[in-house]
């Protein structure tokens, strides 16, 4: 924008200078002195006579015979020769002064200055229109920038509010939240253990239940010599031992553990024996 303003000022200054300079110029070529007019008319007649001579020479020249093939190439070569000759002629030609008459020269200069003045006025109008358009675009961009800055400030305020809210959360509320989550996890764990126990009781019942049902059929009511521990309690004991004391996860196999249960756990890789003590077993660390 600064460059356009400078160009606009320079163009206006040049236009004012041209307008003031035109007032001091002599009258145009048509109103110059009679002597100058006669000189120009004579010069025009000489040029016209030369043009007539050239036309007569062209008329008496024999036409070029076009070849039977490659007519287009022949025409292009002729055009190249003509342009080359014209170029050489312009190189050798030196500019000529149209006249030595000062009035004619001043009038011709005035016409050239008028042409330049019209071109400068056209350029000035174009620059003004372009400058106006750029100013309008600049105003739109500035308004857009202001809107974006307002949005940015709003977001900053909102972010600060969120930070203040997060900092104002007390440790008590955070502790209560963790306590509630832990309570839910314990309840969920108890549900899983209950469901797991029911599943094991249905599919892996104690041997005394089979014996009791068989004795009822035979009419015998003897109590079993050993009170067997259910399979889900054995698994729960193994899990608690592994989670509470991971450095010593082994438990001692009691007499109340039904041997087929222990053999089942060992055979399917659920439990492992102690390498130095066969009466101690541990749960396989599936979580690692």
Lowest mean pLDDT among 6-15, 30-39, 249-258: 6-15
Residue-level length of the chain: 288
- Among residues 39, 20, 18, 37, which one has the least CA distance to residue 29? 37
Judge if pTM exceeds 0.75.
no
Spatial contact of 28 and 110, defined as CB atoms under 8 Å apart: yes
Q: Which two tokens stand for residue 231?
A: 């399979």
Task: State the chain's mean pLDDT as an integer.
Answer: 78
Residue carrying the six token digits 């399979």: 231
Q: Which two tokens stand for residue 286?
A: 């599936």
Buried b (16+ CB within 10 A) or exposed e, 257-281: bbeebbeebeeeeebbeeeeeeebb
Spatial contact of 107 and 22, defined as CB atoms under 8 Å apart: no
| CA–CA gap between residue 60 and residue 215 (Å, rounded) | 148
Query: What are the tens digits of pLDDT across the range 134-155?
Result: 999 999 999 999 999 999 999 9
Spatial contact of 127 and 50, defined as CB atoms under 8 Å apart: no
Predicted confidence at residue 62, as pLDDT, reads 72
Query: What are the tens digits of pLDDT across the range 159-199?
Result: 988 887 776 666 677 788 888 999 999 999 888 888 887 88
Residue 242: CA atoms inside 13 Å, Cβ hemisphere, count? 17
Query: What are the tens digits of pLDDT across the range 30-86?
Result: 454 556 667 767 777 888 888 888 888 878 877 767 777 777 888 888 899 889 988
Q: Where are the beta strands (DSSP E) in the chain?
A: 251-252, 271-273, 280-283
Q: Which two tokens stand for residue 193?
A: 């253990």
């Amino acid at each position: 924008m600064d460059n356009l303003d400078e160009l606009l000022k320079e163009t206006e200054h040049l236009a004012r200078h041209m307008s003031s300079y035109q007032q001091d110029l002599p009258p145009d070529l048509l109103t110059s002195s009679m002597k100058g007019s006669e000189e120009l008319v004579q010069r025009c007649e000489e040029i016209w006579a030369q043009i007539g001579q050239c036309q007569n020479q062209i008329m008496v020249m024999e036409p070029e015979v076009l070849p039977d093939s490659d007519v287009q190439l022949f025409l292009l070569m002729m055009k190249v020769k003509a342009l080359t000759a014209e170029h050489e002629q312009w190189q050798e030609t030196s500019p000529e002064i149209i006249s030595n008459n000062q009035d004619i020269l001043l009038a011709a200069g005035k016409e050239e200055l008028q042409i330049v003045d019209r071109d400068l006025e056209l350029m000035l109008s174009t620059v003004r229109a372009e400058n106006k358009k750029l100013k309008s675009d600049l105003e739109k961009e500035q308004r857009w920038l202001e809107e974006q800055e307002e949005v940015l400030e709003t977001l900053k305020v909102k972010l600060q509010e969120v930070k203040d809210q997060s900092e104002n959360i007390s440790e008590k509320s955070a502790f209560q939240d963790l306590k509630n989550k832990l309570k839910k996890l314990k309840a969920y764990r108890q549900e899983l253990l209950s469901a797991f126990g029911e599943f094991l009781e249905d599919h892996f019942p104690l041997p005394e239940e089979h014996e009791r049902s068989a004795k009822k059929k035979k009419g015998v009511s003897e109590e079993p010599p050993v009170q067997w521990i259910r399979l889900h309690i054995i698994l729960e004991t193994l899990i608690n031992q592994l989670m509470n004391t991971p450095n010593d996860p082994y438990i001692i196999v009691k007499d109340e553990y039904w041997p087929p249960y222990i053999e089942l756990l060992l055979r399917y890789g659920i439990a492992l024996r102690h390498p130095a003590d066969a009466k101690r077993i541990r749960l396989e660390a599936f979580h690692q």
